[in-house]
Structure 1
Amino acid sequence: MGDMPFWKTKSLDEMTNAEWESLCDGCGLCCLNKLEDWDTGEIAWTSIRCTLLDGENCRCKDYDNRQATVPDCVQLTPKAVREISWLPPTCGYRLVAEGRDLYWWHPLVSGDPETVHAAGISVRGRTVAEDGIEIEDYEDYLVTWPLEVGLEPVE
């Protein structure tokens, strides 16, 4: 039996930058626009993706400079992961923060960055770019699939 993978032995705060970045499964769910009910705080997901998210490869087109282009882009940090309620239930950062394991399709488990797409978890082919969509029309794009959980994590 080999060594335990880093996400089972380290807290989010203890991870190197490379380990931290590798927790992202490449699903693109966090880059979908969300609506928040100001009275209840309830979050509603849309199929509208950030202008920088490539809808096919589910990666940011300008990751290193994203906050200059999209000032309200939320940068995930260990503290933010523990505080943000809208991270999808399949998010690697969220799972590790909650002491849970990664799903079988996570690239760190499968060894293949395509499994997140093959498992139907990612936003690939299911979104529209935000460019040209008026905020008043966002309700026309409400979806629930970002909250659907895939298969159970590996034990």
Structure 2
Amino acid sequence: MDMPFWKTKRLHEMTREEWESLCDGCGRCCLHKLRHEETNELSFTNVACRLLDLETCRCSDYARRQRRVPDCVGLTPEALAEIDWLPPTCAYRRLRDGQDLAWWHPLVSGDPDTVHQAGISVRGRAVSERRAGALEDHVVDWPGKAPRARRARQNNNSREKTEC
């Protein structure tokens, strides 16, 4: 049986299609972050980019996102070396750091909804920047934390679940 591509290839060896498929659709990277000038400390908010669809947790204009939102960061293997704000649940970060994809990742589960079922996505927890007001009023810690693991039964199979 062949091993999945993310177990046999380094990030820079992946095709564009493979690279794009690593995005689990959680939307956490599309939340605004605040960087404190004095300390360089990072704070996460629950305020989403105006292009993020808060139900699907996908960009509503992915192909033109960087033209419409100039500070939108395009993830590349090279950029990953410099980025310190990806959530610990992010597949790009996990693979960069030598970890495997989590059970709820669509490439593992075969179901794009497991990222939402596992509570990893921003669905139900984010507000659009169009309605939010001051970012400082929306500082939260959950986007920068890995959820606590717990065991749960699903269809008589024991499966790791996560919660924030």
Which TM-score applies when normalising by structure 1?
A: 0.92
Q: How does 1:73-88 map to 2 (within 5 A)?
A: 73-88=72-87
More RCO (CA 8 Å, sep 6+): 1
Closer, same or farther in 2 for the Cα pair 1:115/1:132, shift >3 Å?
Answer: closer
In the alignment, is the contact (CA less than 8 A) between 2:26 and 2:116 conserved in 1? yes
Partners of 2:146 and 2:17 lie apart in 1 by 26
Q: How does 1:1-155 map to 2 (within 5 A)?
A: 2-134=1-133, 137-150=134-147, 151=149
Aligned amino acid, residue 21 of structure 2: S
In the alignment, is the contact (CA less than 8 A) between 1:105 and 1:115 conserved in 2? yes
State, as a whole percentage, how many aligned pairs show the same letter: 61
Relative to total residues, which structure has the larger strand share, 1 or 2?
A: 2
User: Number of residue pairs matched?
Assistant: 150
5+ long unaligned stretches in structure 2 = 151-159
5+ long unaligned stretches in structure 1 = none
Query: Runs ≥4 in structure 1, deviation > 3 angstroms?
Result: none
Which TM-score applies when normalising by structure 2?
A: 0.87
Deviation at 1:18, TM superposition (A): 0.5
What SS does the aligned partner of 2:40 have? Answer: coil
